[in-house]
Amino acid sequence: MKATVADIARSCGLSTATVDRVLNNRPGASAANRQRVLEAAKQLGYLPTLDQVVLPSKPAHLEFFLPIGSNAFMADLANHIEDYAARLPLVASCRIHNLAGISPGALQGAVENLSLKANGVGVIAVDHPRTRNILRELVEAGIRLVTLVSDVPAAPRSAYVGIDNRVAGRTAALLMGRFLGGRTGHLAMVVGSRSYRGHEEREMGFRSVLAEEFPDLAVSSAVEINDEPDASYRATIKALHDEPDLLGIYCVGAGRSGVARALLEAKPRRKPVFICHDLTKETRRYLVDDLADVVIDQNARLIAEQSVIRLLGSIASSAPYLTKKFIEPRLIFKENVPVQ
């Protein structure tokens, strides 16, 4: 038989009125009493759980701030968030804000439209002092926060949902070196934006493994393109012109379509090994058409589901941080492209 409010009150030695205030997230209970009530409710199995994460006792209002733009991965992520949230009774509403760029100013402008009902916020943002201040103010206002895809560790977020980006970059370098089989020559990097901690970590991981295990492979160009396909196209065309025997291209973030377009137009004597991130409709096609050699996928569906679960868990928990658990990246080749 399910525990009742009276059972929780007896277990933690508080009144049923205090227990009711805590469970329904109303003011009037101290932080210490909130912790006692939630711990008792958890022990008695009163609070619902999903994947071992304790969930809130009543539906929550969630909002996500994503720089979607023309980024296919971001669009897929937004769609998966909306779809998953719509199927959960504990999500009263879920709203996606499409940020007008990646700058802190774009985030600030969007946050001003945050609903007064919002209980939790998920965000993809650059790691910048202004960004950290915006996120800090949200948490101080009583809103729970999770970061997605690229972390902002100095912000008081309850959880980060995404892959270990440094490991992803190291994996890209290991694959590049193995594909090239001991050859000596130059590589090009197309970096989305180093303002994203995740992109910076991928680049660091990539360079580290090259130095450690493949010293005969050197990065001759590393261009920051701010996730603009036209900029990645121009950078790739230039790299192919400057280095006719370019051995490989690593696309750290978005801008994949620009790299693919340049490879198709330039028709190099020998196609460089092309490694990129995120399985989308376009990268599926690149794999099948032998433009891309491997896609390191961070799994938009799983990130979407975990971000919703982690937000709900942070709303239910009295702890400021949830247990850290990375999403495992998938290596997608031509022969194992999953069914959509």
| Sheet of 248-251, strands arranged across | 217-224, 185-191, 248-251, 273-277, 294-297, 330-332
Instruction: Reduce the DSSP state of residue 196 to 3 states and report it.
Output: coil
Is 60-161+300-327 assigned to CATH 3.40.225.10?
A: no
Domains of the chain by residue range: 5-38, 60-161+300-327, 165-297
Q: What is the mean pLDDT of the chain?
A: 89
| Domains 60-161+300-327 and 165-297 alike in fold | yes
CB atoms inside a 10 Å sphere around CB 288: 11
Pairing of strands 159-161, 144-148: parallel
Distances (CA, A) of 112 to 97, 106, 144: 11, 10, 16
CATH H superfamily, domain 165-297: Response regulator (3.40.50.2300)
Radius of gyration over every alpha carbon of the chain, rounded to an integer in angstroms:
23
pLDDT digits (tens, 9 = 90+) for 135-156: 999 999 999 999 999 999 999 9
Task: Please report, rounded to a whole number, the percentage of residues in the chain having pLDDT higher than 90.
Answer: 68
- Please give the pLDDT value at position 54: 62
Give every CB contact of residue 242 below 8 A, 6+ residues apart in sequence: 220, 221
pLDDT digits (tens, 9 = 90+) for 228-267: 889 999 999 999 999 999 999 999 988 899 999 999 999 9
How far is 54 from 293, CA to CA, in rounded Å?
41
What value does the mean pLDDT take over residues 216-233? 91
- Please give the pLDDT value at position 44: 74
Tokens encoding 49: 């759980």
**pLDDT range class, residue 38, cuts 50, 70, 90:** confident
pTM, entire model: 0.80
